[in-house]
Amino acid sequence: MDSKFGQSQPGGWIEDRRFLTGQGRYVDDIAPCDALHALFLRSPVAHGRVAALDVAAARAAEGVHLVLTAGDLRAAGVTLATVQAMLAAFTPFLAERLGVDPADLAFDGETFRAPGSNLTPTLCEAAVMARAAGRTDLLRHRAEYRLPGRSYPNGAHVAAVEIAPETGRTELVKYTVTDDFGTLIAPQLVEGQVHGGIAPGLGQVLCVAG
């Protein structure tokens, strides 16, 4: 065995000249002519909420391909459709409990609110109230959502590797994943699935000969 390139043997850097002379290439340098750019707009105030949003001018602007608001996202997806069904079922129940008109009761994404009432129950607290009142029918909900066409989630995986010209040794420097997962129910499970797919894939590329 040649101990020069064995495990734990020191080795000098061979790519510094490339970076120091401006010849390095990074993911940010990759800019296809037809690439789309995404811009996210949030409230400039901490914990602030955008009460109203007019996106007509943005959608009509030249070069803009798509404008989505939180309302658009809430209107799509089976999970969010189920949430909408839950809100519709709980609204009359809570309106009666709070002594307000159902039309005045609104859900702001976290709590139910109504003018004239200082009670702001969350959806979980509303479920506890329903159970205490014997309204078990409010504890189970079902909704269906049918996509207008096939759904192909977008994603890209970029691996940055360094190959030593003298030895051919390949080192994985960075691996970046960008995937459109949609609404995550169990983020840790999804993350584990991604890692479980990357690891054997890299192993086959870097370690399997033939």
Report pTM. Answer: 0.40
Both structure tokens of 85: 């069904």
User: What are the residue ranges spanned by the domains of the chain?
Assistant: 74-139, 153-210
Q: Which amino acid is at 23?
A: Q
What is the C-alpha separation between 138 and 127, in angstroms, rounded?
A: 7
Residue 159 has pLDDT above 60, yes or no: yes
Higher per-residue pLDDT: 200 or 76: 200
Task: Give the burial string for 50-87 (b: 16+ CB within 10 Å, else e).
Answer: eeeeeeeeeeeeeeeeebeeeeeeeeeeeebbebeebb
What tens digit of pLDDT does each residue of 85-132 get? 889 999 999 999 888 899 999 888 888 988 888 888 888 899 999 999
Residue 1 has a pLDDT of 47
Mean pLDDT, range 162-186, rounded to an integer: 85
How would residue 203 be classed by pLDDT, with cut points 50, 70 and 90? confident
In degrees and rounded to multiples of 5, residue 167 shows phi and psi of: -115, -20
